[in-house]
A and B are shown apart, each in its own frame.
Chain A
Amino acid sequence: MTALAAGTRHPVTITLNGQPRTGHAHPRTLLSDFLRHELGAHSTRVGCEHGVCGACTVRIDGVAQRACLTLAVQVDGRRVDTVEGLAREGRMTALQDAFHRHHALQCGFCTAGILMSLADWLVRVPKPTEAELRDMLSGHLCRCTGYAAIVRAVMDVTGQTTESVHV
């Protein structure tokens, strides 16, 4: 049985975007804080800390989850992927590029979480309908875009079309 005392910082080792990284965390340290302030992986944004807004969504062993509803000590020994790991050698993925072309982000604060959800979900649902996509996106709050361009970008990158916005 793993037993970690409240008052002690314990070593936590994760595979962050393919690289082994070790930091220290109290049992109560949230994964979102651990990534950002202990490992310096700032791309995971914190928007509500109660699991509704989705900005902090990361992949744990490939599965999209809220980092703010996860303790750092719970991911010891596991794989964590954040948006920093998406682009390879400076080349953005097709999804990132579609977000750029379609203006699917403005302030960008929610974007990392949305991209990480999509990175998991599009593996499971490679050709989503717009309704399915919107259902999945409802786990993220975006205050800038009105979601239209996000939907357009995803439908584009999955080789589908969406309703035109311009008449």
Chain B
Amino acid sequence: MKPAPFDYLRPATVADALAALAAGGDDARLIAGGQSLMPMLNMRLVTPRTLIDLSALPELRRVEVADGWLTVGAAVTQNELLARPTLATEAPLLAAALPWVGHFQTRNRGTVGGSVAHADPSAEIPLCLVALEGEVVLRSARKRRTVPASGFFIGPLTTARAADEIVEAVRFRLRKPGAAYGFREMGMRHGDFAITALAATVEADRIRLSVGGVADRPTARDWPRLEGAALDEALNAFAWDLGGDDDQHATATYRRTLVRRLGRAVIEDAQTELTP
């Protein structure tokens, strides 16, 4: 279980990284923290000709708050973001969800941008990005563009990122006044890939429920402030629309059950916070 051979590039600037990526084409892979890519390299599921290491780029290690956005440089590690003292006020959903990402040891190295670029359908950070109506800042040697989360995730491990682009930053909406958030996750063990992960945003006139681990990408749905049977019906319709697949850990039926039951619970969590 050893990686296949590859050339290794460690650019000193983003511009150099983009030039290298443009030259490497589809045979080049980007590595930031490597907590998803390295296992796939070790198993030879991924066999790039060139590996471009973004982890040392200072340009990608900034966290900024401006204009209603929390902008996280792609190479900021999950634990660095989690340790940010103001995170719970800036993005309470992230503060609640990040401890569910892998383990302490993998969060020490795994990056926010890497998790988004990897696009595991069960992953928490992509879920939060969808839940918070965030954006992904993509940059190529030619241009910079911003893709909303809802359009970024296309399928399992598949995103709108073009082969010559890097994820430069990930932008989460800051906590909205009058909004409350909830996060719940059901995994087999602590730190496992979620069977189903759920994020709720509740505002005065709106409920937004986002679900990971059921469809092939994190998916959100917005409702007015439904209650009781109407909410049950909405959750049931959402569960069926998400579909879900059977795997060795859970049935599609079970995943839909979690959408219905934990969906209601996570919405209630947020509502409780909203009206103490």
Residues of chain A having any CB pair with chain B under 8 Å: 1-7, 26-28, 30, 33, 49-51, 54, 57, 63-66, 68-71, 73-74, 117, 120-121, 135-136, 138-140
Contacts and interface: CB of A to CB of B under 8 A. Distances in A.
B8 A51 contact: no
Contacts, number: 106
Contacts of B43: 50
B2 A1 contact: no
A1 B11 contact: yes
Given A5-B7, A26-B5, 8 more contacts: A6-B5, A27-B5, A33-B2, A50-B42, A64-B104, A66-B38, A120-B108, A121-B104
Interface centre among B34, B35, B43, B102 (most CB of A within 10 A): B34
A64 B53 CA distance: 20
Nearest to B99: A135
Given A138-B190, A139-B105, A50 B7 contact: no
Contact of A28 (B2, B9, B10, B190): B2
A66 B39 CA distance: 11
A136 B104 CA distance: 6
B229 interface: no
B190 A1 contact: no
Interface string B1-26: 11111111111100010001000000
B190 A3 contact: no
A49 B105 contact: no
B34 A70 contact: yes
B105 A30 contact: no
Contacts of B12: 1
A78 to B, nearest CB: 10
B104 A51 contact: no
B249 interface: no
A65 B109 contact: yes
B77 to A, nearest CB: 9
A138 B104 CA distance: 9
B58 to A, nearest CB: 14
Nearest to B52: A1
B243 interface: no
A70 B39 CA distance: 10
B15 to A, nearest CB: 10
A134 B196 CA distance: 22
B136 interface: no
